[in-house]
Amino acid sequence: MDNGPNEQQRRGIRRTTILLALVALAIYVAFIASGVIKSQH
């Protein structure tokens, strides 16, 4: 399409996507880790 994202927008999309995916992954790991810690005490 003619109005595809420009280079700056592409960079923004890439950065935001990676950041949000990492946040989601970190929350997943953190909650399981909290379960591990809780079950050891």
- Work out how close the CB of 41 gets to other proteins at its nearest, in angstroms, rounded to a whole number: 8
- Work out how close the CB of 6 gets to other proteins at its nearest, in angstroms, rounded to a whole number: 10
- Distance, CA of 22 to CA of 27 (rounded, Å): 9
Q: How many residues make contact with other proteins (CB under 8 A)?
A: 27
- Distance of CA 30 to CAs 9, 33, 34, 37, 40, Å? 31, 5, 6, 10, 15
Give the footprint of other proteins on this chain (CB under 8 A): 1-5, 9, 12-13, 16-17, 20-21, 23-25, 27-32, 35-36, 38-41
